[in-house]
Amino acid sequence: MRKYYSLMVNSNKEADVYIFGDIVEPTTQELFGMPADVSGFSLVQEIKDLEVNVINVHINSYGGHVSEGFAIYNELKSHKASIRTICEGFACSAASVVFMAGDERIMKDPSALFIHEVQSGIYGSADAKRKAADEDEKLTKISMQAYLSQVKIPQEKLAEMMKVETWISPQEAIEMGFATSIATDAVSSRAAASAKKALFTMLKKGMSSIQSAEVADEIVEKLYERLIAELKTQEGLIVNGAGNQEPTTEPTHESEPISESEPDPEPQQNKPQNLIAALFR
């Protein structure tokens, strides 16, 4: 049995769905529980049963059957959980429709979306082909609604992009509204927020000698700016599970060794100010 997706649930009441393959339609065998390629039908059933707060949908797919893409999109949109879709590589065709189901829609750098009109292949008479063309146009207009619910471009421009078949970069996706963020931006924002919170906590505990709240706030902002500058320039940073950045090695500081018998040259109450002065050098 070939399966194009996987689903995992963690202890934080989050589910991760990985759509890494072509989205296929159900076969008679699958509908009756017999071995077959796994379709959108199976994924929809699994999503429906999830009792979680967040569903992360990781996508790397060239797309597939339109009806299955619609079904996955609609199930995600109607689910009570918060939906986060992540384009891990390509989200093409029907997979790009699934991508649009996210409350958060995150592009990795590099990654790409690919949109086009609905296409079908048919054998038969001229009348049958004309009928198929009319149906494809109708399905194209329906699929456009998934994009139009999020994008910031006119319907006419979207229609033209689909007509000529368009690849969309992460930055273009942000500008046009297909995506809400690029992964590197999301990681940096989480790291910055965490770092700023840590600085406020540290200073609140260690700066009792500073009486003015305005002075304390000013120092926090300067420390924060300095820290972010260091994060942007320092090499060897890693990203941990919480999305915060940490150096892979401990920073070193050259200083004269202090004998254990020597008294602390700085009174305890002055250490916060001296630390700040050192950081501002």
| pLDDT of amino acid 145 | 94
CB contact set of 43 (below 8 Å; sequence gap of 6+): 5, 7, 17, 19, 72
For residues 70 and 128, give the distance between their C-alpha atoms in angstroms, rounded to a whole number: 24
Shared domain for 190 and 138, answered yes or no, is no
| pLDDT of amino acid 13 | 92
Q: Give the 3-state DSSP-derived string for 206-271, with helices as H, strands as E and coil as C.
A: HCCCCCCHHHHHHHHHHHHHHHHHHHHHCCCEEECCCCCEEECCCCCCCCCCCCCCCCCCCCHHHH
Q: What is the pLDDT of residues 147-167, one digit of tens each?
A: 999 999 999 999 999 999 999
Domain CATH for 34: 3.90.226.10
Tell me: pLDDT of 189 over 70.
Answer: no
Alpha carbon distances (Å) from 274 to 151, 215, 280: 51, 15, 10
Q: For residue 29, what pLDDT band results from cuts at 50, 70 and 90?
A: very low
Q: Among 149, 179, 209, where does a domain finish? A: 179
Alpha carbon distances (Å) from 125 to 129, 130, 279: 6, 9, 78
Q: Among 130, 164, 179, where does a domain finish? A: 179
Shared domain for 175 and 191, answered yes or no, is no
Closest CA to 86 of 109, 58, 115, 47: 58
Domain count, the chain: 2
Shared domain for 12 and 141, answered yes or no, is yes
Shared domain for 108 and 171, answered yes or no, is yes
Beta-ladder partners of 85: 57, 105
Shared domain for 162 and 272, answered yes or no, is no
Shared domain for 161 and 23, answered yes or no, is yes
Tell me: pLDDT of 205 over 80.
Answer: no
Tell me: pLDDT of 246 over 50.
Answer: no
Q: For residue 114, what pLDDT band results from cuts at 50, 70 and 90?
A: very high
Domain that holds residue 247: 185-279
Structure pTM? 0.63
Q: Among 179, 196, 213, where does a domain finish? A: 179
